[in-house]
Structures are given as structure tokens and as C-alpha cells.
Amino acid sequence: MIRVIENVDAFWEIDRYDVVLLGCSIYCMIEGGFGGKLKNRFPIIREVDDKTPYADTRKLGTRVNIKETKPMFSLAYICKYPMKKKPTVDYDALEKCLQTFNNEFKGKKVITTILGHSKYDGYGDKEKCLEIMRRCLTDVDVDIYDYRQMSMREEMWRLFEYIQIVGKINWDLNKYMYDRQNELYRIMYCMEPTESEETEDSQTE
């Protein structure tokens, strides 16, 4: 069964699933969006990706699994160098990855995005990517999250704008959020605190 869930950030839902299917570039660039948050929470994702041959076109259509985590991850190499306005997804590679994934993880509950469509994994045509996914993922229970994936900088700016809006309504809450911006950024991106922030925290204890 395939369901498309709109306007929900997939990152905050992953603990309800068995497997995360992540679209990747052959250039070992898991940056921003869904993948960017995942690699911060699960550093093993970057470690495994970095061990694959850099920019090797032979990776297209292949997958690497990470089964020692919960949920498990499957990194699908479906695009060349990610570009913001130029499609770099390889549709044949996408189809091959999905077919092997469907066979390997039959019956599993899977979370993913519209693979090959975001600026981080190929910038391909949304409907074509969805058509391939619907055709290939027939034996797994898949939730496809359809939302605008943003860079870390974009998400930080959105939080800053939200703090400004809050300030017009509740000054005390605005000050509380403003003073803890770095902490909020870390929560959003599952980042470890910087050395300077750890020093500040220890001084206030």
C-alpha cells in the first residue's frame, strides 16, 4: 500500500517505521532537507555514504543498507551532482533501486519522500517520480511524504521570522525563544551543542 502524506516533515515521523528509504547523490552529498537532519541524528549515515566511491557513476541504481539502527536505512543512489534548477536524477537508477528495495523489504513499513524530486536528490519531475514509485513499490507498506524540503539556513530563517511574530503577541515568550535560538536550532537539526554553548550552559548551572 502506498500513501502520500502532504505538508508534514518526514523527519519527525521516522520512529514509527521499520525502514527509511533515502535518495542520495553519487557525490556523497547528504546535505539539507530530510537527509540533512537524518545524518545529524544518525552519524553512521554519513560514515557509510562517505565510504562509497565518490562520483562513481557505477553507483547509480545501487543501494547501501544500514541495519544496525532503528529504524533501518536504505541509501538509494539515484542522482548525479544535485543542482537547484537542473534535473540530475537518473530515472533508470531510481527504478532499479526501488525494484530491489521492494524485493528485499517486502512487508516492511517504510517512510520516504518523493524520491528524485527534491533539489537534494535529483530535482526530477514530481509526477514521473511518483509514477515510478507507485509502479515499483508494490510489496511494501509505504508512506511518501510530500513537502518542501529546506536547507538548514532556510529553516533557521523561518524560526527567526516566527520569533519575530511571537514578539508582537507575547514579549516574554519572544525573549525566552530569542535567548534560546541556538538550542532551538539544535533541536530542529539534531545537532550537538558547540563548545562555546556548552561553556555557557555550564556557567549558568
Reported as a single tens digit per residue, the pLDDT across 121-130 is 999 999 999 9
| Cell numbers found for residue 101 | 528495495
What φ, ψ does residue 115 adopt, rounded to 5°? -60, 135
Pair 193, 201: CB distance under 8 Å: yes
The model's pLDDT over 139-167, given as tens digits with 9 standing for 90+, comes to 999 999 999 999 888 887 777 777 677 77
- Predicted confidence (pLDDT) per residue in 2-16, tens digit: 999 999 999 999 999
Mean pLDDT to the nearest integer, 75-79: 98
Compute φ and ψ for 25, nearest 5 degrees: -95, 150
Q: Quick one: pLDDT at residue 167? A: 72
Tell me the one-letter amino acid at 93. Answer: A
**89 DSSP 8-state letter:** B
pLDDT surpasses 90 at 205: no
pTM of the predicted structure, to 2 decimals: 0.84
